[in-house]
Each structure stands twice: as structure tokens, then as C-alpha cells.
Amino acid sequence: MTDNKRNRSPWTWVPSLYFYQGVPYSIVMITSGLIYKTMGVSIATFTFWTSILYFPWVLKPLWSPYVDVVSTKRNWVVVTQLLLGIAFIAVGLMMPLSFFFPATIALFALIAISSASHDIAADGFYMLALDQHKQAFFVGIRSTFYRFAMLTALGLLPLIAGLIQEKTGLEPVTFEAKAVAANQFTPFNPSEIVITPSAGEPKILLYPDNITVPIFENGVSEIDSALVYLALSAPPEEGDKIVVNLTRKSGSKDIDLPDKKGTQRFEFTSENWNVPVSASIKVNHNLTTETSSLFNITAGNVAFSWMVSLAVLGAILLLIGIYHRFMLPYPADNIVKKATGLVAYAEVFKSFFSKPGIVPALIFFLFYRLGEAQLVKVATPFLVDSRSAGGIGLTSAQYGIAYGTIGMLCLTLGGILGGVVASKFGLKKLIWIMAFAMNIPISVYIFLSYTQPMPGDLSIFGAIALEQFGYGFGFTAYMLYMLYFVGESKYKTAEFAIGTGLMALGMMIPGLISGQMKELLGYQHFFIYVILCAIPGLIAIKFLKIDPAFGIKKK
């Protein structure tokens, strides 16, 4: 083995390794919410099932000893990366199918198991290939590229899907709804609708031509909404389905969609294309003057957009796996060991759970991300939910731009800064600052939920930038403490897997109830509740025992 292969610069593989590690987790745990939301699956349904998928990450410790002793960690990394790339291509191909939800959940389960195995091997490889100082220095880099992977999943993937949706399907329709005095409002009679099939591609039909909504007048007129009717001009191909989405585009916030599920979504087939469906447009009861709002009706091919996006992502992951096949170094002690057994399991768990300070460490591992665990499940639906349901109303493309530009930059700066200052001053001096930096910026969602700025408003970008920078800087403390707690243990790969398994458990259990808590509290009170959930993790820090010299470069 040449020194060149054994001692390759960490810059050639740490960023790409942890970018790869972050992609499967981010897609399964976070972006899947946006995918299922735009495909018409309810929030309560997909938050429950995607939270169940945390189990492979929670149960990592059960097979981490095998990863530690069966084959090399380098081999585990390469093989699981190639498998994950193929699996994501398969998920994309499932999106247009009628049974896409159970099929993709099953594939996401396979991805979760493979990703959890990859995590064990990648983290062990990191500790084998780098000394303690380099581990501390690059922990910010790895966290940054891990989070960069999350931004790719949250930003670039939805952006691509959104652009495809805009360029595919039927020609969009934009209409204006005007609020008028109740005595000037005349309800539209749907019996007047007569649809004659036209030749060529179907077009979206909207009735009536002039849309008005009566202003609510307490004691005078209790009517506060009007109905519009949608249909198609021609039938789709036999077996095809056209999904039509109605969203508010701009104008007065006092005229909006009342749908509490956050969507106005309609499906047309060759059997019901000429049967008009109704959508309600409602005025705020506080509105007293005439105003107007613009609405969009689109019929982009949502399933096709996600199919292309996920298949391209899978191909990119395959290429990264091939790159790592040739570029990962060969650490001296990265060798195949003897098969494991129950004795090895007992030794690993005994070593981990008998360490000094295990109780506050367990509380820290489980509760440090208690608030974030619930935020990540609801933040995406909140940003894309309809304004009448309390959301912001971003399109998939707008959501991708918000997270993929300023959010990505601030996350990168926060993560790099966290690693640099930790390697200079040590974890003990910085852990409180990092903890507050990670949790306090969550309050930006309280601000967004109360003010509901219009899509494209600079305050949305500013809020996401602050939250991303704080997360990038603050999450460094979590990973550094996990590295410190494992230390130079004989079973550090398996023990690190136990730590990340506990972290996943701390993400899974709160995630299971996040959808129900949002339904119970509403967006505004939910985000306040999330801030309060940060308190147990902060209390645990008080009792952690940390060597002041940990992470600082030794002279």
C-alpha cells in the first residue's frame, strides 16, 4: 500500500463522504414530506409513516458490531453507496404509479436500512483515518456538508421538481377575485355551465368569467365566500389522471382559500373531466373595503417532476460512490477482523453504558434535538401550506430557492465557523454558545407564522438564513461531544453508532407526534411549543463533564 493512498488529504473525501451521508437521511426524513404533500397525502399520514422510518437509525447499535468487524469500513461505505443510488432511482420510477405511497414507503425503508449501515461505516472510517485534532477541525466541515446535503434535498431537489411542474402539464390559468359589497354580489348558478369537448390537448376551464366575493357584514350579510368551478375542455387519455392545483398568487391577504388542509387539489380523468368541481374563495371577516387577489390554477405533472428529480439524484449518488471507490484512503488499521458474537455485543454495550457521566450524556443525546426533531417535520409543510391554513404559500420552486441560496451559504458559514473555533478554544468553552445558537433561531418560525409575509418577501430569506447559520454552528457541539464521549475506546465505531442511534431515537419519538401536535396547536402555538422543547437539552449540558483541552491542537 503506497503512502499516497494511505494518507490522502481529508479535503478530498471528508466533504463528499458526509454530503453523501446526509442525502438519504434528508430525503427520507424531510423532503419526503414535501413530496407527499404535493402528491396529496395528508400531513398526519406521512409524518407518522416517515417517523416510523427512523427505526433503522435508532437500531444501528444492534448491527454496528458487525460493521465494525465484518469486512472493512471502506468496503461498507462503497457498497452501501452504490445500493443507495440504485434505490433512489427505483423510488423515482414508482412516483407515477397509483400505489406510489406504499411502494415508496417500502423503498424508503430499504434506503433507511442501507443509509444507517453507511453511517456506521462512514463515522468509523472518519475516526480511523484522522487523528483527534483533525477530527475536531473537520467536524465543522463534515457537519456543513451534511447540512449542505440537507439543503440539496430541501432546496435543489424541490427547485428542479418545481421547474418541471411549471414546464409540464396544461397551460396555467390566472384569475382575479374581487371583494365587493354584499349588495353588489350575485352568486353564480352552476347549471349555466355547458361543456362541449374540444379537439387537442385539454385546457383548464374556469367559471364564472368575472369572480367576486361578498364582504362580510355582521348583522347585515353573513355570506363571506363565493364558489368558482373548474373543469377540462377535453378528456385526458384513457387511464391518465390530471391533477389541478388552485393556489393564491398575490394581492390582498384578506381574500384567500379557506381549505384547512392547506391545499385545493382536484383530480380529473376521462370519466369526470366535464363534471365541474367547486372551490371556495373566502374573505377575512375584518375586511371592510373593496380589494382583490390573484390566484393561479396549474396542472403541472407533479408525479413526473419527482420521478425525474429522484432518478437524477440516484444517478449522482452512484457517481459519488464510484468516486469514493478510488479516492477513499486506506487507514492502517482498516482491516477485516474475526466474526462477532454475543460476547462482542456485551462488551460494546458495557463499554458504552459504564462510562463516567453516562446519565447526563444520555439525556443530552436524547433531548438536545427535541425541538428540532419536531420542527423539521412541520417546517416544510408550513412553508408550502396555504395562507388560509396558516402557512406561507411557497411553491416548490420558491421553497427550493429560499433554502438553496442564502440558506445554503449561511449554513456553510455556520458549520465551518463552528469547527474552526472548536479546534481553537475547545468544546467545553463553546458548548453553551453553540447550544443557544442552535435553538434560539427556531423562533424565526414564530415570527413567520404570526406575520405571514408574502412569498418572495426578504424577511423569509432572512429568517431561513438565521436559522440555518445557527443550526450549522450549534450542531457542531453535538457531534463533538459524541466524539469526545466515545474517545479512544476499543469499540469506538460501534459506540459511536450507539450514540447516533440514541440521537435518531431522540428524533423519531418526537417526530411521531409532531403532526398531531401541529393539528392540536396550530402553526403559531406549535412553534412556541418547539422552543420550549429545547429546555431539557440545555439543562443536561450543565452536568456534562468535558475535558477543557478536547479538540484543541496539541503543541
Q: Is the pLDDT of residue 295 over 80?
A: yes
> Residues 225-239: pLDDT tens digits?
999 999 999 988 877
Q: Are strands 211-214 and 170-180 parallel, antiparallel or unpaired?
A: parallel
- The whole-number average pLDDT for the span 442-456 is 85
Residue pLDDT, tens place only, 217-267: 887 788 889 999 999 999 888 777 787 888 777 788 788 887 544 457 788
Instruction: Share the mean pLDDT of the chain.
Output: 82
Give per-residue burial for 489-500: e unless 16+ CB within 10 Å, then b. Answer: bebbbbbbbbbb
In which element (H, E) is residue 230 found?
strand 225-232
The confidence score (pLDDT) of residue 261 equals 42
| pLDDT at residue 314, as a whole number | 93
Which is nearest to 24 in space by CA: 99, 75, 83, 100? 83
- In whole angstroms, give the CA distance from residue 188 to residue 227: 8
At 24 the pLDDT is 92
Encode 236-290 in three state secondary structure.
Answer: CCCCCCEEEEEEEEEECCCEECCCCCCCCEEEECCCCCCCCEEEEEEECCCCCCC
- Which stretch of DSSP H or E encloses residue 103? helix 100-129
pTM of the model: 0.62
Is residue 314 within 8 Å of 165, Cβ to Cβ?
Answer: no
Going by C-alpha positions, the residue among 360, 35, 296, 291 that lies closest to residue 166 is 296
Give percent above pLDDT 70 in the chain. Answer: 91
pLDDT digits (tens, 9 = 90+) for 360-389: 889 888 888 888 888 877 887 788 776 767
Average pLDDT over residues 396-411: 72
pLDDT tens digits, residue range 129-173? Answer: 877 677 777 877 787 788 778 778 877 788 788 788 777 778 888
How many angstroms separate the CA atoms of 334 and 127, rounded? 11
Q: Are 415 and 473 in contact (CB under 8 A)?
A: yes
pLDDT score for 321: 93
Distance CA 517, CA 263 (A): 20
The CB density around residue 414, as the number of other CB atoms within 10 Å, is: 29
pLDDT at 385: 75
Tell which residue, 499, 396, 387, has the closest CA to residue 449.
387
* Mean predicted confidence (pLDDT) in 115-123: 87
Report the pLDDT value the prediction gives residue 67, as an integer from 0 to 100.
Answer: 74
Q: How far apart are CA 363 and CA 543, in angstroms?
A: 10
Domains of the chain in sequence order: 3-166+303-541 (1.20.1250.20), 170-299 (no CATH)
**551 φ/ψ angles, rounded to the nearest 5 degrees:** 95, -20
Q: What band does 410 get if pLDDT is binned at 50, 70 and 90?
A: confident
* pLDDT of 346 higher than 80: no
What 8-state DSSP symbol labels residue 356?
T
- pLDDT, tens digit, 9 for 90 and up, residues 466-523: 888 888 888 888 888 888 888 767 777 778 778 877 887 887 788 778 878 888 888 8
| CB neighbour list of residue 43: distance below 8 Å, 6 or more residues apart | 33, 37, 261, 262, 381, 515, 518, 519
pLDDT value at position 259?
58
φ, ψ (nearest 5 deg) of residue 177: -110, 125
What is the rounded distance in angstroms from the CA atom of residue 523 to the CA atom of residue 306? 27
> Is residue 553's pLDDT more than 80?
no
In sequence order, what are the beta bridge partners of 213?
Answer: 179
Residue 186: how many CB atoms within 10 A of its CB? 12
